[in-house]
Every structure is written in structure tokens, then in C-alpha cells.
Structure 1
Amino acid sequence: MSEAVHPTTVEPTPIAPRFTCGLDATLKIISGKWKPLILYFLLRGPTRYGELKRAVRDVSDKVLIQHLKELEADGVLRRNDYKEVPPRVDYTLTPLGQSLAQALEPLCTWGTDNMVEMQKIFAERDSWLREKHA
């Protein structure tokens, strides 16, 4: 009696995560407190690390470097090392990054148009939280 050999079916490993919708895909790229701001400031053109650090106030060096590496790995920005002494490096958006940053522009406009109202809302919320914890 011979035993039949059954080929084993192996499921391929997904290359990319499955997204529930387009917003889910976008949020996977821009998730992180500072990534949208990094993209916004890179819309201006090639930007050196120090310029980004000053523009994205309050971000630590560790987190800024981490976010830049992640955005580069995601194909959204390019790190340009000019191999000079002293070292000169800048960051630019890829075409994918340009389109993503441009998609964020309406959010910037909304924030500017509603900034005063949002400041009032946040001040009210902060006073409510202080009263609750007092």
C-alpha cells in the first residue's frame, strides 16, 4: 500500500496590513503626535534636521528621529545625506508624501479658521477637569 503525498498549502504572509477603509490606511502612516506637523513643514521644500526641530516645537530628539525614520520607511519622505564634512543632511517629501501632505492642508485651514473657538473649548474643558480633580 502506498501512501499518497498531499501537498501542503501555505498561506502567503500579507505584505501590508488589511485596512478597513482609506482613512485607516492614512492613519497608519500619520499616526504619531508629530508626523502631521513634520509633513506640513516639509511641504516647504528640503529641510534640515535643525530646522524641523525648531519648527516642530516641544518634540524630543528621540521622537523626531524615530518619526523621520518611520516616514522614510513608509516611503513618504527621503533623507538626503550629502556625505560632506561637516555632515549635511536634509529631508524632502516623496511624491507620495507630497500628496499626503497636501491632503492634510484642509485640516490646517480648518484649524486656523476655528482656532479661537477651539481655544475657548479647551480652556473650558481644562477648567472643568481642574474642578473635577480639586
Structure 2
Amino acid sequence: MRWFLLATISIFWALLPVSMPDALSQEALTVRVISLDHDQGAMIVEPVSTGGYPERITVHYDPDQAPPRLSPQDIIRIQGLLSPDGSGQFTASHIGYGKNTADPTGVRSRIGKCRGQGYRGGKSQEKSWRK
């Protein structure tokens, strides 16, 4: 039994780098859009926090994956691979508007809905009987 367990763990450990996608090597950045070209699938952005990134980064993306209302001066989150040579080329796998809310997963807003209490567990922001 020990040999079987040892062999299974060894095979799993050997295949782990092959089966893992490169999602672990991707970077997520919050950036401001400077200019954008939907037809070419490229935009020039600057990172909101420098953190060792170049001042200007050229992001290449699939035009179908970009938000339709994307425009210059928007602050967005991009995820993908930054070229290691320092040229400022970034290949995006995801582009979206990130929200810094207290409920990023939506679980807190759904608490209480199963009891028929609705959003915020039946509490209203406008009407409060405790005033």
C-alpha cells in the first residue's frame, strides 16, 4: 500500500508542471488607459502604482474580450504576461473594470435572500427605524 501511494504521489509530482497552466506566472495590474486602438487590439496604458513596471506599457489583447465601453482615461484591471525583456509589451488574457468593494464575491449581498429578506438582509439604506 505504501508503494502504491508513493508511486501515485511521484507520478502526480512529475506531471504537475505539465498539467498546470501558466496562470501562476501571469500578472494582474491596475492601469489607466492612455490611448487605444480596438481594430489593432492594442492600447497604451500606465500603471496606477509603479511597483517596478515601465511608465508606459503596450497591451495586446483580443478585441472581442475588451469591455465595449472602454475609453481613454478609464482605470481598468488587466491580467496576462509582461515581456521579461523590459520592452513594456503585455499580452492580456483578461481585461475588465475591477471594483474595490467590500463584497467582491457577492456572498454578502446574497445573505438573507434565501429567507426572503432581499438585498442587505432586509435592511434599507434609505429608511431606518433607528434614527
Task: Tell me the TM-score normalised to structure 1 length.
Answer: 0.22
Return the structure number with greater strand share. Answer: 2
